[in-house]
Amino acid sequence: MNGPPTDPFDRLAAPIEPLHPRPDFAGDLRSRLVAALDLPVQLPERNPAMTIAATHTRATTLVPYLAVADAAGAIAWYTDVFGGAETMRVTGDDGRIGHAELSLGDVTVYLSDEYREYGVAAPSGGLSSVALYLQVDDVDAVFASAVGAGASVQEPLADQPDGDRRGTLLDPFGHRWMLAQPVERPSTAEYAARVAGSGYSVAAPAAPTGAIWAALNYADAPAGIAFLTDVLGFTAELVVADEADPTVIHHSQLLWPEGGTVQAGSANRPGNPYSERPTGAESLYLVTADPHAVWARCQAAGVTVLQEPTEPDYAPGTMVFSVRDPEGNIFSVGSYGGG
């Protein structure tokens, strides 16, 4: 025989390869060790390149972030029932979904599996501290689809006194959804009348004790008011026209949806010295969370543009533009961020 003796069992030997534990076992063991040894939770280090310096505290986006006991199942349910689309999924080495993003129409929702070691838990016992109010185009169809897919009804679908057709349900993962479709928008007085005797009352907020109202003089006041309401988006709360000549506007109160009032009236009204100011010489800044909608109306109306939409240095991530009304007044529109 040549060479050292060999063991016949060597032919049966297989290379040693590490075996990874099951993802659910790894996640459970990690959580139990952290809790039992009272270890500090180690979060991933933040990439310095991703650090964003906060320059002000104005909120710009609010995204619901849901924790569920079965994130993969919830993603499938929300996409099937609400017609959503998954746009991102981050999965940990233990198999749990650490982060996922869904698009429900124009709405974005984040979700993840439970991470109790980080204090993140799903609703339990049929109780949920937060309700998600979701407006849809066909609430009857979506509500029926949700119930058919396992959601439980908390409040049946019905026309509500606030003008919505709405119902409330609990999805299979414990989250509470208020599905709604706007039908009408009653005035505060009408809303209050509808709920009279129900144990609830409705009232508009008290008017501020102090305010500054801008005033505009127009050679053609009805046309000026039409521009302010139809193009810019003001709401005409009150318009006082002359009884003998309706084209003469003595007083008006035009409300900006996000706060503020503008008065518009006819120039050179007899006995009113304030109306003698030159027309077309005013300049106002309108603050809105949706300048894109105002810009679209201005474009559709063929308004004279003084400044195309830009991102101002004082409010990064926002937009501002300026237009001139038919009589020469200048309106700057943007989401002012301070600074």
This prediction has a pTM of 0.50
Q: What is the DSSP letter of 115?
A: B
Whether residues 222 and 181 fall in one domain: no
Query: Given this model, what pLDDT does residue 33 score?
Result: 65
Beta-carbon contacts of 153 under 8 Å, excluding residues fewer than 6 positions away, are 147, 167, 168, 169
Q: What is the DSSP letter of 21?
A: P
Question: Among residues 166, 168, 159, 160, which one has the least CA distance to residue 180?
Answer: 166
Proportion of the chain above pLDDT 70, given as a percent? 79
Question: Is there a domain that residue 77 lies in?
Answer: yes
Whether residues 227 and 169 fall in one domain: no
Measure the CA angle with vertex 115, ends 109 and 119; round to 5°: 95
Query: Given this model, what pLDDT does residue 71 score?
Result: 95
Q: Average of pLDDT values for 80-99?
A: 93
Q: 107 with 151: CB under 8 angstroms?
A: no
Instruction: Say yes or no to pLDDT of 188 above 90.
Output: no
Query: Given this model, what pLDDT does residue 132 score?
Result: 93
Whether residues 257 and 154 fall in one domain: no
Q: Average of pLDDT values for 39-47?
A: 47
pLDDT in tens, 196-207: 988 888 876 665
Query: Given this model, what pLDDT does residue 43 score?
Result: 42
Structural domain total, the chain:
2
In single-letter form, the type of residue at position 287 comes to V
Q: How many CB atoms lie within 10 A of CB 159?
A: 12
Instruction: Say yes or no to pLDDT of 116 above 60.
Output: yes
337/60 Cα distance (integer angstroms) = 9
The CATH number for 130's domain is 3.10.180.10
Q: Which structural domain, as residue segments, surrounds residue 274?
A: 214-334
What is the 3-class SS of 219-286, one letter each residue?
CCHHHHHHHHHHHHCCEEEEEEECCCCCCCEEEEEEECCCCCEEEEEECCCCCCHHHHCCCCCCEEEE
Most confident of 1-5, 10-14, 210-214: 210-214
292/253 Cα distance (integer angstroms) = 25
Instruction: Say yes or no to pLDDT of 17 above 80.
Output: no
pLDDT mean across residues, the chain:
84
